[in-house]
């Protein structure tokens, strides 16, 4: 019997998700080497059996392999209708360097590619992973609005955006969620982002709420990180 995890309305546009979500990034790298696929599929199934319905991924995780993993897990269990899938676009690697792109043509191609990797017809929540300062957010949102109208995306969100960018984006098409780092050691968003989202009826999805594991394990976490774990550098900044 599934554990009862409360459902909550995320924002004011109609999306309902489990109060606790499952961030899938670490399954495909970033926090050390990618984990065994079979084990991660079992983990995803266990989370869903426990009442978690909100799964978070991105095209840059892997890159690409995390979306494939999530899609495979859902297909194997026949679980698509039980979950809400959040994925993201905008961060890409070009010539070995990270780039951010919000160009309309790229928005569309990224969405089509994510749908294919996830093996689904519609993305429940599609985030702009980072803001491309070379492209007005209104232009990026205009293409996302078209994808919603075409039924390829249900709800739209932003990640790590300023309050002014949130307002400008929301004026083009209503935002359902903003995802920012938020924990007891990362509270910058409380000054401007939280009040703006509350005013506009936008939900907030915290990422790294336990400080990428540091707040659960303590200083010893940093001592035991492998060379492939980006936290080894990140936590020293």
Cβ-contact 161, 176 below 8 angstroms: no
3-state secondary structure of 151: coil
Question: Rg of the chain's alpha carbons, rounded to an integer?
Answer: 17
69-124 tens-digit pLDDT: 999 999 998 999 999 999 999 999 888 889 999 999 999 999 999 999 999 999 99
Write out pLDDT tens, residues 68-84.
999 999 999 899 999 99
**How high does pLDDT run on average in the chain?**
93
The residues assigned a catalytic role are: 61
User: What gap in Å lies between CA 139 and CA 2, rounded to an integer?
Assistant: 43
CA-angle at 68, arms to 61 and 127, nearest 5°:
50
What are 8-63's pLDDT values in tens digits?
Answer: 999 999 999 999 999 999 899 777 778 999 999 999 999 999 999 999 999 999 99
Full strand arrangement of the beta sheet holding 177-181: 21-23, 54-56, 84-89, 123-128, 153-159, 177-181, 203-207
Phi, psi of 156 (to 5 degrees): -120, 145
Report the pLDDT value the prediction gives residue 236, as an integer from 0 to 100. Answer: 46
Tell me if 120 sits within 8 A of 80, measured CB to CB: yes
Closest CA to 158 of 190, 182, 135, 131: 131
The CATH code of the domain at 7-234 is: 3.20.20.100
Selection from 119, 115, 20 nearest residue 79 by Cα: 119
- pLDDT of 234 reads 57
Report the b/e string of 63-101 with b at 16+ CB within 10 A. eeebbbbbbbbbeeeebeeebbbbbbbbbbeeeeeeeeb
5 dihedral zone (left: phi>0; alpha: psi -120 to 50; beta): beta
What are the domain boundaries of the chain?
7-234
Residue 213: what pLDDT?
74
Q: Rounded to an integer, what distance in angstroms lies between the CA atom of residue 181 and that of residue 160?
A: 8
Q: What is the mean pLDDT of residues 172-180?
A: 98
């Amino acid at each position: 019997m599934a554990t009862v995890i409360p459902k909550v309305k995320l924002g004011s546009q109609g999306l309902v998700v489990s109060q606790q979500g499952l961030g899938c990034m670490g399954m495909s790298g970033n926090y050390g080497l990618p984990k065994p696929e079979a084990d991660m599929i079992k983990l995803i199934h266990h989370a869903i059996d426990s009442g978690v319905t909100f799964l978070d991924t991105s095209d840059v995780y892997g890159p690409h392999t995390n979306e494939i993993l999530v899609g495979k897990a859902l297909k194997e269990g026949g679980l698509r209708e039980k979950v809400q899938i959040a994925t993201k676009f905008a961060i890409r690697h070009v010539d070995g360097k990270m780039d951010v792109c919000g160009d309309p043509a790229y928005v569309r191609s990224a969405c089509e590619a994510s749908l294919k990797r996830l093996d689904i017809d519609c993305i429940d929540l599609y985030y702009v992973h980072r803001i491309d300062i070379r492209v007005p957010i209104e232009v990026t949102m205009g293409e996302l609005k078209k994808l919603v109208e075409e039924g390829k995306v249900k709800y739209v969100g932003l990640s790590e955006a300023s309050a002014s960018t949130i307002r400008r984006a929301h004026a083009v098409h209503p935002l359902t969620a903003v995802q920012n780092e938020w924990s007891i050691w990362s509270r910058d968003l409380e000054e401007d982002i939280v009040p703006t989202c509350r005013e506009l009826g936008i939900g907030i999805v915290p990422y790294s709420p336990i400080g990428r594991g540091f707040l659960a394990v303590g200083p010893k976490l940093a001592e035991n990180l492998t060379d492939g774990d980006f936290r080894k550098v990140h936590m020293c900044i």
